Every structure is written in structure tokens, then in C-alpha cells.
Structure 1
Amino acid sequence: MIKQQRYTIGVDIGTTSTKAVLYKEDLQVIDSTYIGYDIIQTEIGMAEQDPKVIFQAVLTVIRSLMQENKSIRQQVDFISFSSAMHSVIVVGEEDELLTNCIIWADNRPAKLVAQLKKTSDWKAIYQKTGTPVHSMTPLSKIMWLKEYFPGSLEKAKKIIGIKEYILYQLTGEYKIDYSIASATGLFNIHELTWDKDILKLVGIEESMLAEPVDVTYKWDAIRASYAEEMTIDPKTNLVIGASDGCLSNLGVGALEPGETAITIGTSGAIRMVTNQIVLDEEGRTFCYYLSKGRWVIGGAVNNGGNVMAWLIAVFFPEGKRQVGNAVETELEQLNRLAEIVAPGGDGLFFLPYLNGERAPLWESEATGSYIGLASRHATGHMVRAAMEGVLFNLYEVWQLIQEVGGPSKTIKVTGGFLNSPLWKQMLVDIFDRAMQQPTSFESSCLGAVMLGNLAEEISGSSSPQKSAGLLKDREETGIWLQPNERTAEKYRKIIPIYQKTAKEMSKVRKIMIEVD
């Protein structure tokens, strides 16, 4: 009797889109789809999204995969989830929405965070939670809601994130995985429980939060109405999964000490897996749970691809233009203009703090600026300086991570920035290191499915999968990016000047805030 092929689905609930990938048992990609959505920004510092829109995106991407692959609907073993971190949604007694989804990029708690750092032992909070004290965190967002919208918390039944909201809709249970919980600033990573002292500081009860469970937790059924809407078997298992950053490391195979992953999408991050909790004395790096005995340390930056989106809005407010016989996109135009400019932007620096900054500054109120701007500088100089600024920032984060977690042996790169040949070449030139661009597709979705396989093995629902070995085979066909020796040498001279300039501007910003 021929064994029936089994399939799995990885879903990544991201900041700007939800993606879904359909895999065979050997992790071969069969199909994929995505749906984008907007960020609501009607005031300075605001960054919210409609949870209902994102939930519909999840239903739609899964339904789309099933409609395109109708013959295998009964052969999907599980759906496993990846999600962006640091979101907050308040729901009422009838499980109705009392707020939008306040996402990581929302910077409105900045002043409260500054006060917290002056009046509380914020380093003690960090040492318990592994999450830097910053306006990105649910801790700070809950404090902000309590201060400015107390009515929403008075009526609250639960305070959750976007993944908990979606999985509640699908299962009727409020659960949060250890990985997402470890990024809230409320979760004690040493004990894997909500920290009672921090909850008391914030002023909420533990019952208002979802129940923490391991990343391999699974449900054996989906609510019938939503299963029907997705055209999938209601007995399909759901695996809770983990955070997008941690799963990206898993998906690209950066799992051993010294194996480093760099991702630049809307924002950016550098991450390294360790076998134990590793914390920075100054609270500058995060330490998030990946799986039992594996932790992800690193630093995330607020400003990555969104800097390019800002430049497009500034320089091309009317959209695309004709170039010769082809239509060149705004991004292609910016890359072409930047490519002809020498490294260092002809004396122009850009501090890329358009949305405050996480690592390496951890300054919610940081602002961006061009430094050295002169009449000789044109659009290409400004674009190149912005691209370099994002990478100079990440380079400093990389230095910090090595200081805390040890040297990088290999570096693997993922994210939308890879669509720009210029930008990824800049990356390896600035870091002066060869880097691998893995062939794995949508690494967070792949990481989610690998965790799903582990969940199936733990429960005895399937025979052991050799996911790690299969992934290694995939990596061997990855592309290696090599630095240009002459350009890298130029950057070796430029980087210390940039870092000194950034530090001086940080001092200036603090003086301006005090005056204000």
C-alpha cells in the first residue's frame, strides 16, 4: 500500500502582511500566498492595525492555498503560526475589541518609558524579562493605556497580542506561547511565568493575560465555521508556534552558538541562538525563548526597509515614471541613483531614527537627521547615506551582540532588502564578512512548520521527522555574498566616524528634550 503524502502549512502574521506557505513532508514548498494590510497612523507616534482585518487575512491566505490545492484538503496535518512580537489588544467581557492592535512601532509611550527609567529599577525588570525597557513593549503600552485611556482597561477581560487574538477566534482559548510572552516585558524568562512584581508595577492581574504555554502546544480542532470558511478539515491540528524573529533563525538554520542571522524587512534585527539565557549588564540586548534549551539573543532596530519607503514618499509622491521603454519602479530608481555615489555618500551621513530607535540606542524619542548636507549632494547621495545609515546601525548592534554572546562564526541574511543588489552588497562590505543567503523560502513560515513537526513528534502523532537534516541539505545550495575588498577598506575608515557622530547627536537630542 502506497503511503499517502502529508502536508503542512506555515503562517507568518507580519507587520505589513500575512504570508502562508504549503509544504510537503520533506519541507519542499508546494505553494505560497500573502495579503498586505495598512498601519493606522492618525497622530504622531501612533502605529495601530485592525485585528479583524488581520484575522481575515489569515483566513484568506489559508483558503487561497486550499482552493489552489483542492485535492489535498484532507491531507494537511497541521497549521503552525509565526507572529510579530510586542502587540497589544484589549478585549472586553464579551470578547469584543476595546482597542485596535497597537503594534511594536507605536512610540506614544516614549515619555512614560523615560519616566519609568528615572523612577524604577528598570535594569531589574530587564534582568527578569530579557526584554529591554522601551516603548515597543506591551509593558509600556499597558502603562500608556492606563494613563491615557483608563476606561479601556477598566472594562478589560483580557490584554492580548495579535497571535492570541487570531488563535482565540480559531479555537476559543486564550493561549500565548513562551516565545511571544518572553518579548512582552511582563514575563519572567527564568521561571517561564508572568512576573507578579512587574504585573503589580503595571497594575494588572495575571488573569487578564493569556495562559503561557510552550511553543509546541497544539489544538486538535478548528472552530467549524472558520474551518468551513478556510475550506479545510476542522480536525486539522493548530500549533501555536513562536515569534517571527526566533522562527526566522530556525528557518535559516542559524541554531548553533556563533551562527548569526540578519534580517532586514520593514525593520531589522540581528540574532544569535544560545543554549542558555544570556543577558547584557546594560540591558541593551534581548533574550527571547525559542524552544526548550534554546534562546535567541540579539538586537532589533526600528528602521530598515521603512526608511526606503519614506524616501519613496518624499522623492516620488506621484508614483512610477517612465524610463526609456520600461517602467522603472520608485525603488529601482533610488537604487540606480545611489549606485553611482561613492561609499560614504561624499561626506553625507544619515542617522536613520525615523521611528525612534531600539538597538543600539534604546531611545524611544530618537529622531533621524542628515549630517554634512551640502549643495553638492543630490538625490543619490541622500539615498545612499540612508541605506548606509541603516547598515551602520546594524553593524553596531552586531558588535554589541558579539560582546555579549561571543563571536559570529557564520552570518545568514534574509528579508526584503535582498531584492536590492546594491543594499545587500553594501551589507557585506560594511561588515567586511562573507554572508550566506539561504535558499529557504519565507524562513519564519518554515521555522513554524519545523516547530509543528516537533509538536507532532512529542505527541506521538507522527513518526520522527528529520527536519534539521532536511534543512541542512537546503542550505548547501545557498548563495554566498562576498565583500569587495577595496570598498570594505573604505568603510573601515568611515564607520568609527559615523559611530562617534551618532553618539554626539544622542547627547544633543537629550539636551533638546530637557530644554523642551
Structure 2
Amino acid sequence: MNYVIGVDLGTSAVKILLVDKNGEVVRSVSKAYPLTQEKTGYSEQNPEHWVEQTLVGLKELLKDFKGNAANIEGMSFSGQMHGLVLLDEQNEVLRPAILWNDTRTTAQCQQIYDVIGEDRLLQITKNPALEGFTLPKILWVKEHEPQLFKRAKTFVLPKDYLRYRLTGELHMEYSDAAGTLLLDVGRKEWSTTICELLDIDPSICPPLLDSHDEVGTISIDVTQATGLFTTTRVFAGGADNACGAIGSGILEDGKTLCSIGTSGVILSYEATPDKDFNGKVHYFNHGVSNAFYTMGVTLAAGHSLTWFKEVFASEESFQELLTEVSSVPVGSNGLLFTPYLVGERTPHADATIRASFIGMDSSHQRKDFVRAVLEGITFSLNESIEIFRKNGKLIDTIVSIGGGAQNDEWLQMQADIFGAKIIRLTSEQGPGMGAAMLAAYGCEWFDSLRDCAEEFLKEDKQFTPIKTNVDKYKKLFAIYQQVYNQTKDLNKELLELRK
């Protein structure tokens, strides 16, 4: 039996999958690493931690592996998007990586609009200037750390740096490059116009590849540290959302994905780059060659539930915390939550907005708050679905992955709020499986990624909307949509009191 490895470099941990030719996950390993948040809005990581934990994880993956490591044919990667890794002439890291959820760059986003213009930016990059993207981070370093920036030869994104350390080859692929705000998404090339207008040397942008392109093989140092063979072929991989789409079978028009991890995503396949959403949702290159996807983002989806658990139920498991959710009626007995813990992205690109519980009284119990958090996360994701529908997209079937797919009550809630059939897969591995599928396709196991999906991905269960719940949620969603405008000015006034 032959195998491939999918490496998913996330925000809190790296997850590594060993997958056989039938699409079965033979072994999986997860290794955590820390996140540094020195100030409100700051979020950084040490890239060396990604490398160290990946090497430890690969070694552990092979420790009790009964097969032959020489039969591991390929490896590919999924990674957290937007994070800035600056490298010098020797490809040494110049500073900690500034991550996707870092929001210090509001002034730089305005600078981009002032210099380039909002319409021109959308025409080239298909996306608005948001704090999480890479270009504002580059401008921030250029302004606040000018001596360090002068030493920068190139930049890459997190999984691209990890791949470089495993192979010695430095590249970026299109699906991740689309999230930098420097890529001409339709032309699939770096925008020299944006670079020149913002006084950035275009040579800082690395060579571009397709997600399934082969970049090299595992280096000798890595084989000695892990037990892998130098014959293992390495493929470029994709952004976590692109790989999540591949690993969920979102490979043709009409397919939609709901992914709930630290952040939450509603993602839909697009065959062309020419639809116009007026910048209300993201428009990125897919991991599938010459395809695209549109995407709405909730910044604090699973993070909202994790926050609630750590603050109010730190000694309990998530399963224990959610035990009583089914006993709480639709609408959480009049309690409403907006998941703006770290600001919001879709449809409100606002770094200063913060979360709210609305409608609290002394009759509410902890279980009401838990259900309200789940409903609030799902309402936020539904705002992206509403944008898609208003622009003519048919969304009647959604594949749900991540934390939101681990609980039947939450999946039924998604069906009722989204007004669509929800599908859970038998083996829900998300971006890691997408990375493995890119490796399998790169190794020519299949003629296409669709063929690979038919073999690797199987449906487990469907959840269909319950009409009475749908009607109640429509009324509650209309109330939810009012909260942002009612609280945004209050949150701006409170900003100076935050640490």
C-alpha cells in the first residue's frame, strides 16, 4: 500500500495525516504551539515553533507505523492564511510572524485605499483592504520597523515557510497568494502596479506555483529527524480554506462549505473570476487549477465557544458543556449573542466592534448562554449566505466541517438557520485531507481532484431544515442583524479603556 501525508499548519497546532490510497486516515498526529498577544490587536508566532512541532509530529506519525516509510510517496500542505513571514538574504526569519488575526494595521489599510483607490484595488485583487491581509502587515513593518524592513529580501506565508524548511525550496502558490492583497487574482501574477504605487520592491514577492505542483523532495536533514525517505515528493499545497474546500469536495459550481474552526467560513466554488460581489465577500484562487472560490468569514466562530468554555467551564470538556443545549428552545429563551470577540470581517469589516449578549435576565441559566453562543456564531455565518443568495447563488446543500460538525444539535441548528440541507462526512479531516488529496493528485493516483474526492470522501449523515424552527430563526436573525449598528459607536467609545 502506498501513502501520502497532509500537513495542516493551523493557528494553534499542526495536524498531520497519513492517508492510504483508499482515502483512509491510517494515522494522525497533532502538535500545539503558542500564540503571542502582547497588546490588544496583536497576534504573532515564532515560525521556528511550526518547524519544530512538525518534525516532532512527523517522527511520532512514523513511530508505530506498520507499513514501509519508503511507500510514502508524497506530502503536501495546508496553512493558515495571510500571516507575514519576512526573510533576509539567507532566508533567515527577521521577526515573529504577524498572523491573520492581528488587527494592528487599520492605518495601513486606509493608506492602501488612499494610494490605490478602493475600486482599483477590488479590480486587481478582488478583495478589500482588511487588517488581516498580508500587504497591510508589510506596510506596518516598513513604517514601524524600517531598519529591519531594509534587510528583508522576500516574504512568504506560514505553510510556505514550513515547506521551505523541509525541502530548501522557496515558493508561494496561488490560493495563499490571493490572500496577500498583492496578487492580480484574475491574471494569476503579482501586481507590479500595487507594488510600485506603495513603494514596495516587486522582487520581495516569491515565485508562484499551482497547488498541485511539485517543488522538490524531503531534505536529508528532515529524513534523519523524522524517518521519512528523500524519495518523498513534496507538493505546493494550498491555503487552509482552499484545502478545506478540496477536502470537502467543493470542486464544482453549486457546492458550498461551512467550516467552523477558530474562525468560521462560508465558501462557495466559482468557475470564473468575473462575478461582482462589490467586495462584500472574499474572492480567491482555488487549489484547483484555474478555478476560484468566494468566501465570507466570521473571525471568532469556534473561538467564541472556546472563550466561553475557558472562562465559565474550564474544567469541563466541550461535550460536557454542550450536553444540555438540546433542552433549550430555539432562541435561547430570548438571549442573543454576537460573536465579535476580535472584531468582525463579513459583512462588517470592523476591527473595533466587540461581542455582546443581548436580552439577559435572572431567569437565564448557563445552558441558555451556551446555546446563544452557538446560535450567534451560526447567525454570523448566515450573513455570508445571505450575501451569496442576494447575488443569485443557489445554496441548498452545504457540507459542514470543523467544530460545528461534531455536534448533532449544532448541525440541525445550521440547517434551520441556513435554510439548507447540511451534510456531514464520514471522515471529516478538512484542510489536512485537502492537502493529502493534493499530494495524491500530484503523485498521479487520480486523473483529477474530483476523481480523488469520489474515492476519498463519503457522506455520513444529512440534516434537513425543520420548518417551525426556520420560521423562528428568520425572526431572530432580523433582530441579530440590528445589533451591529446599535453597538458599533458604543464599542468605539470603549476602545480607550481596553488594555
Q: How would you bin the TM-score normalised by the shorter chain?
A: over 0.9
Deviating 4+ runs (over 6 angstroms) = 510-514
Measured after TM superposition, the shift of residue 281 of structure 1 is 4.5
* Residue 154 of structure 2: aligned partner: 158
Letter in 2 for 1:312: K
For each residue in 1:319-365, what CA deviation from the matched residue of structure 2 results, as whole angstroms up to 9, or x when unmatched? 31xxxxxxxx2434432354433322332222211111111111122
* Residue 471 of structure 2: aligned partner: 489
Distance in 2 between residues matched to 1:351 and 1:278, nearest whole Å: 33
* Residue 63 of structure 2: aligned partner: 67
Q: Which has the larger displacement, 243-252 or 260-269?
A: 243-252
Letter in 1 for 2:463: L
* Residue 149 of structure 1: aligned partner: 145
Q: 1:449 aligns with which of 436, 447, 456?
A: 436
Q: Note closer, same or farther for the CA distance 1:169–1:267 as it changes in structure 2 (3 Å cut).
A: same
5+ unaligned residues in a row in structure 1: which ranges? 321-328, 458-462
Q: Which has the larger displacement, 497-506 or 388-397?
A: 497-506
Q: How does 1:124-135 map to 2 (within 5 A)?
A: 124-135=120-131
Letter in 2 for 1:359: T
* Residue 503 of structure 1: aligned partner: 485
Determine if the alignment matches structure 1 residue 365 to structure 2 residue 352: yes
Measured after TM superposition, the shift of residue 507 of structure 1 is 5.8
Q: How does 1:241-256 map to 2 (within 5 A)?
A: 241-256=237-252
Distance in 1 between residues matched to 2:469 and 2:60, nearest whole Å: 45
Determine if the alignment matches structure 1 residue 304 to structure 2 residue 279: no
* Residue 184 of structure 2: aligned partner: 188
Q: How does 1:369-448 map to 2 (within 5 A)?
A: 369-404=356-391, 406-448=393-435
Distance in 2 between residues matched to 1:149 and 1:180, nearest whole Å: 25
Measured after TM superposition, the shift of residue 190 of structure 1 is 1.8
For each residue in 1:72-96, what CA deviation from the matched residue of structure 2 results, as whole angstroms up to 9, or x when unmatched? 1111111111111111011223322
Contact 1:221 1:237 in 2 (8 A): yes
Q: Which has the larger displacement, 259-268 or 410-419?
A: 410-419
Measured after TM superposition, the shift of residue 512 of structure 1 is 7.7
Q: How does 1:195-206 map to 2 (within 5 A)?
A: 195-206=191-202
Q: Note closer, same or farther for the CA distance 1:288–1:63 as it changes in structure 2 (3 Å cut).
A: same
Q: Secondary structure at the match of 2:443?
A: helix
* Residue 355 of structure 1: aligned partner: 342
Measured after TM superposition, the shift of residue 374 of structure 1 is 2.9
Q: Note closer, same or farther for the CA distance 1:137–1:343 as it changes in structure 2 (3 Å cut).
A: same
Q: Note closer, same or farther for the CA distance 1:428–1:41 as it changes in structure 2 (3 Å cut).
A: same
Contact 1:86 1:183 in 2 (8 A): yes
Q: Which has the larger displacement, 292-301 or 237-246?
A: 292-301
Letter in 2 for 1:308: L
Q: How does 1:166-315 map to 2 (within 5 A)?
A: 166-290=162-286, 291-315=288-312
Contact 2:173 2:237 in 1 (8 A): yes
Q: Note closer, same or farther for the CA distance 1:157–1:35 as it changes in structure 2 (3 Å cut).
A: same
For each residue in 1:396-423, what CA deviation from the matched residue of structure 2 results, as whole angstroms up to 9, or x when unmatched? 1111123346111421100022223332
Q: Secondary structure at the match of 1:353?
A: coil
Q: Aligned pair count?
A: 497
Contact 1:251 1:440 in 2 (8 A): no
Q: Secondary structure at the match of 1:99?
A: coil
Q: Which has the larger displacement, 440-449 or 358-367?
A: 440-449
Distance in 2 between residues matched to 1:346 and 1:97, nearest whole Å: 51
Determine if the alignment matches structure 1 residue 336 to structure 2 residue 323: yes
For each residue in 1:405-464, what CA deviation from the matched residue of structure 2 results, as whole angstroms up to 9, or x when unmatched? 61114211000222233322221221232211012341222222222233233xxxxx64
* Residue 323 of structure 1: aligned partner: none
Q: Note closer, same or farther for the CA distance 1:292–1:470 as it changes in structure 2 (3 Å cut).
A: closer
Contact 1:92 1:158 in 2 (8 A): yes
Contact 1:261 1:271 in 2 (8 A): yes
* Residue 39 of structure 1: aligned partner: 35
Q: Secondary structure at the match of 1:156?
A: coil
Scaled by the length of structure 2, the TM-score of the pair is 0.93
Distance in 2 between residues matched to 1:75 and 1:352, nearest whole Å: 45
Measured after TM superposition, the shift of residue 497 of structure 1 is 1.7
Contact 1:85 1:243 in 2 (8 A): yes
Measured after TM superposition, the shift of residue 126 of structure 1 is 2.3
Scaled by the length of structure 1, the TM-score of the pair is 0.90
Q: Note closer, same or farther for the CA distance 1:308–1:374 as it changes in structure 2 (3 Å cut).
A: same
Measured after TM superposition, the shift of residue 49 of structure 1 is 1.1
Letter in 2 for 1:501: V
Distance in 2 between residues matched to 1:465 and 1:213, nearest whole Å: 19
Contact 1:164 1:210 in 2 (8 A): no
Indicate the percent of aligned positions where both proteins have the same amino acid: 28
Distance in 2 between residues matched to 1:315 and 1:123, nearest whole Å: 45
Letter in 1 for 2:178: S
Q: How does 1:45-56 map to 2 (within 5 A)?
A: 45-56=41-52
Contact 2:441 2:452 in 1 (8 A): no
Distance in 1 between residues matched to 2:275 and 2:58, nearest whole Å: 38
* Residue 325 of structure 1: aligned partner: none
Contact 1:90 1:156 in 2 (8 A): yes
For each residue in 1:245-303, what CA deviation from the matched residue of structure 2 results, as whole angstroms up to 9, or x when unmatched? 11111111122211101000111001111110144342111111122231111112101
- What root-mean-square deviation, in Å, do the aligned CA atoms of Structure 1 and Structure 2 show? 2.4
Q: Secondary structure at the match of 1:364?
A: coil
Contact 1:86 1:104 in 2 (8 A): yes
Distance in 2 between residues matched to 1:173 and 1:467, nearest whole Å: 25
5+ unaligned residues in a row in structure 2: which ranges? none
Distance in 2 between residues matched to 1:112 and 1:148, nearest whole Å: 11
For each residue in 1:51-78, what CA deviation from the matched residue of structure 2 results, as whole angstroms up to 9, or x when unmatched? 1111112212222222222541111111
Determine if the alignment matches structure 1 residue 479 to structure 2 residue 467: no
